[in-house]
Amino acid sequence: MSGGAEEQVWQADDLHALADLLADLAPATLGPDLLDQLEGLELIKSAAAAAEAIVAATFADAADSEDVPVGGRRTPPRAMSVGAEVALATLASPYAGEQRVLLSRRLRDHLPLTLAALRRGELTEDRAFTVAREVAHLAPEQRLRVDDDLAPRLAGLGDIRLRDAVRRSCLTHAAESETRRCRRARADRRVTSRRLDDGTGQLVATLPLEVLAAVRAALDNAAATARAEGDDRTAGQVRADTLAARITGDQSVTEAVAVRVNLVIGVESLFGDGTEPGQVTGAGHLPAALCIDLVRRASNVAKATLRRLFVAPADRALVAMESTSRRFDGLLAEFLDLRDGGTCRTPGCSAAIRHHDHVTPAADDGPTAAHNGQGLCERCNYVKESPGWTSWVADPGDAHLHQVHGVTEHLRITRSTSPPLPGGPAGSVGYSPYELRLASNYTLAS
């Protein structure tokens, strides 16, 4: 390494030596130590990805400032040459090299807090680039506001929840431009088809979000009903057959059923001048202006039913719902779906909720109540029952978001927090890597 005391520049030889050192890494012997190694290596990967973004952006700046001789023939855009060289250095395609330069510059210049989270290991490179892609249509000052809004909430988000958080922030901090963008996209709704070479074809429909949610719910209901009745078709086959039957009018395969779509929006946006977007449960967020239009149209044709949800004002935590068994069903199951945003509560998992789970098992006298319930995908619910795994509900009081803590077989600490509902501050508290490390060490010592 060379440079003064204030700034040290790692030369290529230094980085190659570090790579050689990691290539010879010997795995530990104990399970917890192996997981600690994985955690440390992931931190190194994230820090390296952040450094790579800075280096790529700096190289592009330097290359753009160079005087390039212009020949007699037409020359391609400078970005193509710069991207191609970055691609050669990173073992990527030329297009991927161009995208890396573009996203690296955006992270460095307009998303500094996201880049800092990547450097600390709170994000993977793919997720940091996802944030950079999702804000591509925003102006630089709007990207900075979104970056500041997202910073406290990035750690621990899975792919779908991360994109959902970015979209929600974009809809809040660029409400007018996002509403115009959504209206243009909805006007361009369409259906396309493509013939495949194996005797099948693909049908692709671009639909308004609330319509998509209704279609998905209808197909999922048909698949669940067929499975319960012992149908030997796969869920995918049932969905495909149901879609074809509903479109062609052939009811020999299935009959249409009523579908309900839940739209959650803050009273400030519905009746005031708030810009916080609404949420179509299980599908995503919509601009507040479009949500108001949907409510008005549904009310005019007597297809809207309003149900009050009681939310703590500070964290927007869903704490009660208008309205006893061992199972979570009816309104209680709907409450869990709404509170957990329609996606699995396991940190990093983005699958849809399939099971309504007792955090403390019913066999251990865990109550069938909202505070002891969580929405999980099928896989995560089964994993939770593995020997050595345990979980419990934190007790933040009724004014805070629902939190579930857990410990795995090899003493890894997990924590999930229900997403805040629309209508107020969108922040949530998460463990820093240092807090997780300290808690893990304390558990081991105990």
- pLDDT digit string (tens) for 417-426? 888 777 654 4
Q: Which residues of 31-45 are buried (b: 16+ CB within 10 A; e: fewer)?
A: ebeebbeebeeeeee
Are residues 285 and 403 part of one domain?
Answer: no
Amino acid at 13: D
Asked whether the predicted pLDDT for residue 18 surpasses 80, the reply is yes
The answer as to whether 247 is a domain residue is yes
The number of domains in the chain is 4
Residue 52, domain member (yes or no)? no
pLDDT at residue number 423: 63
pLDDT tens for 189-234 read: 999 998 887 778 899 999 998 889 889 989 998 999 898 889 899 9
- Of the chain, the percentage scoring pLDDT greater than 90 comes to 26
The pLDDT > 70 percentage for the chain reads: 80
Residues 346 and 427 in one domain: yes
Please check whether residues 324 and 429 belong to one and the same domain: yes
- Taken in order 355, 360, 362, 366, the sign of the CA dihedral is negative
Higher pLDDT, 397 or 221: 221
Q: Are both 207 and 143 inside the same structural domain?
A: no
Q: pLDDT tens, 293-349?
A: 877 777 666 666 666 565 666 666 666 555 445 667 777 888 888 888 888 888 878
Whether 236 is covered by a domain: the verdict is yes
- pLDDT on residue 5: 46
Query: What is the domain range of residue 417?
Result: 318-445
pLDDT at position 37 is: 92
3-state secondary structure 340-383: CCCECCCCCCCCECCEEEECCCHHHCCCCCHHHEEEECHHHHHH
Q: What is the pLDDT of residue 382?
A: 85
Shared-domain flag, residues 246 and 281: no
Task: Specify the pLDDT at position 261.
Answer: 66
295, 327: one domain: no
- Do 234 and 282 lie in a common domain? no
Task: Output the pLDDT for position 339.
Answer: 85
Same domain membership, residue 357 and residue 441: yes
- Per residue in 86-138, pLDDT (tens digit) is 888 888 888 888 999 999 999 999 999 999 999 999 999 999 999 999 999 99
268 and 254 assigned to the same domain: no
Residue 190 has what pLDDT?
Answer: 94
Query: Is there a single domain that holds both residue 234 and residue 301?
Result: no
Contact yes or no for 401/330 (Cβ under 8 A) = no
DSSP string, 197-224: TTS-EEEEEE--HHHHHHHHHHHHHHHH
